[in-house]
Structure 1
Amino acid sequence: MTQPSDRTDAALVLFSGGQDSATCLAWALARYARVETIGFDYGQRHAVELSCRAPLRAGLAGLRDWGARLGPDHLIDLTAGIGALGATAMTAEQAIVMTDEGLPNTFVPGRNLLFLTYAAALAWRRGLRRIVAGVCETDYSGYPDCRDDTIKAMQLPLNLGMQRRFVLETPLMWRDKAATWALADRLGGAPLVSLIVEGTHTCYLGDRTRRHDWGYGCAACPACDLRAGGWARWRSGQGE
């Protein structure tokens, strides 16, 4: 089997259909000549995010010269694997609460580690060196697999186990949600901000019936709180 060449000017973006991953996709499109996306169906309660992915990709392709840079999308079915590990409030109809370990019960153990492993396996086959993820530990839900130390540690076994020089890039790691909105504005101006407001999904409960200034959601779950708070701080900083 002929291996594809290592394209240092190409990237694979973990793209869920949410605000953070859409911003990361725009960030990658602004930097790399070729960008592919990967998403995961893991039985998430807010599976509506998956239906947002294609329209978002189409919208991003219409901005700047990004259409020429946007490559194929890949959707991976992990419903059997993650579902077999037990239900959480992210995958089942449960009230969202804090556990005795100090973590929200929306935490799916190992989820991002699995995502990165699958992404690296696909990147290996596609000849992509850079893997971009929208994880963050500045303004987040407290998940340990979103932390900088975890991502840095994960890069080593992926490189050793696949004999590649992957670079795990996390452009949002040290940005809070206000700074994430500001980054979207810098990357694509009002059209990109509008696309993210209208087209992305963040709400853990999968609610797209209620429209707010910052987008759709229940306005009560932790994800909505973070998104709404970041929007308010960003808009306040603009003097609006």
Structure 2
Amino acid sequence: MSSPTPTLPHGALVLFSGGQDSTTCLAWALQHYNKVETIGFDYGQRHAIELQVRPSLLQQMRGFSADWDTRLGEDHMIDLSLISAISDTALTSDVAITMQDNGLPNTFVPGRNLLFMTVAATVAYRRGLDVLVGGMCETDFSGYPDCRDDTMKALQVALNLGMATRLKVETPLMWIDKAATWRLAQEIGGQALVDLIRADTHTCYLGERGALHDWGYGCGTCPACDLRARGYRQFVARA
């Protein structure tokens, strides 16, 4: 494991789904902040298996170092099933993944990240945390507008105006591709963290955890698996 950077006098709340990106972001936050809590959302997602892997992942992250064990605090699980009630997408319904007329895949859940960040900000306010950490990325992604840097910056302004706070939204993966995301995990936690992410996180939109591929579990064909697999193989090739 790399030496941690000097910790900052802030507390962070990490949006932690149990996937590759959010686990990398959790490691990044544990490296940077003295106090770290996590938040997850049950929104009726088709790949709800991600919620089942979260507790084990959190426990294993604690085992990486005494510092991480001390810094990692409470986990918050929030019921946002209303999203599936008002959405009709391939992530909340058992339908084929396709492209829509607006150029976005039907895996896009309108308003999801906006709602996630708003709820996270509310929890952070109550918990005395002043940094929100999310795995949004517009470098190597499916084109979701709520993953863009401009969206996160605008949301940070709106949240702080609406709650009279000085919350900071951190997106460590915003400008790096999936290969670089694997490399960041290696830089922070060495091969042990890469192996944990490969075998214990979940990204596949279809919730498939049958065979363990070189890049992890998944169907191998959905957009999430495609990004993860290509990124891993580029990471290995550049090593």
Q: Scaled by the length of structure 1, what TM-score is found?
A: 0.95
Q: Which amino acid aligns with 2:124?
A: A
Alpha-carbon shift at residue 86 of structure 1 (Å): 2.5
Q: Is the 8 A contact 1:8 1:130 kept in 2?
A: no
1:88-237 equivalent positions in 2, closer than 5 A: 88-237=89-238
Correspondence for 1:3: none
1:193-226 residue CA offsets vs partner (Å, 9 max, x unmatched) = 1110111000000000121011000000000000
* SS in structure 2 at match of 1:84: helix
Q: Which amino acid aligns with 1:20?
A: D
RMSD of equivalent CA atoms = 0.9
Gaps of 5+ in 2: 1-7
Matches of 1:208 and 1:198, distance apart in 2:
10
Matches of 1:132 and 1:29, distance apart in 2:
11
Q: Is the 8 A contact 1:44 1:91 kept in 2?
A: yes
Matches of 2:59 and 2:192, distance apart in 1:
13
Alpha-carbon shift at residue 177 of structure 1 (Å): 0.2
Q: Which amino acid aligns with 1:130?
A: V
Q: Is the 8 A contact 2:132 2:168 kept in 1?
A: yes
Q: Which amino acid aligns with 2:102?
A: E
Matches of 2:211 and 2:148, distance apart in 1:
31
Q: Scaled by the length of structure 2, what TM-score is found?
A: 0.95
* SS in structure 2 at match of 1:128: coil
Matches of 2:102 and 2:10, distance apart in 1:
41
Q: Percent identity?
A: 64
The list of structure 1 runs, each at least 4 consecutive aligned residues, that deviate by more than 6 angstroms after superposition, is: none
Corresponding residue pairs, total: 231
Matches of 2:108 and 2:132, distance apart in 1:
22
Gaps of 5+ in 1: 1-6
* SS in structure 1 at match of 2:207: coil
Deviates more, 1:61-70 or 1:123-132: 61-70
Q: Which amino acid aligns with 1:101?
A: N
Matches of 1:217 and 1:68, distance apart in 2:
32
Correspondence for 2:64: 63
Q: Is the 8 A contact 2:15 2:132 kept in 1?
A: yes
Correspondence for 2:5: none
Q: Which amino acid aligns with 1:163?
A: A
Q: Which amino acid aligns with 1:67?
A: D
Alpha-carbon shift at residue 141 of structure 1 (Å): 1.0
1:71-97 residue CA offsets vs partner (Å, 9 max, x unmatched) = 000000011x21221320001111001
Q: Which amino acid aligns with 2:48?
A: A
Matches of 1:165 and 1:187, distance apart in 2:
28
Q: Is the 8 A contact 1:8 1:128 kept in 2?
A: no
Q: Is the 8 A contact 1:41 1:75 kept in 2?
A: yes
Matches of 1:83 and 1:181, distance apart in 2:
31
Q: Is the 8 A contact 2:42 2:78 kept in 1?
A: yes
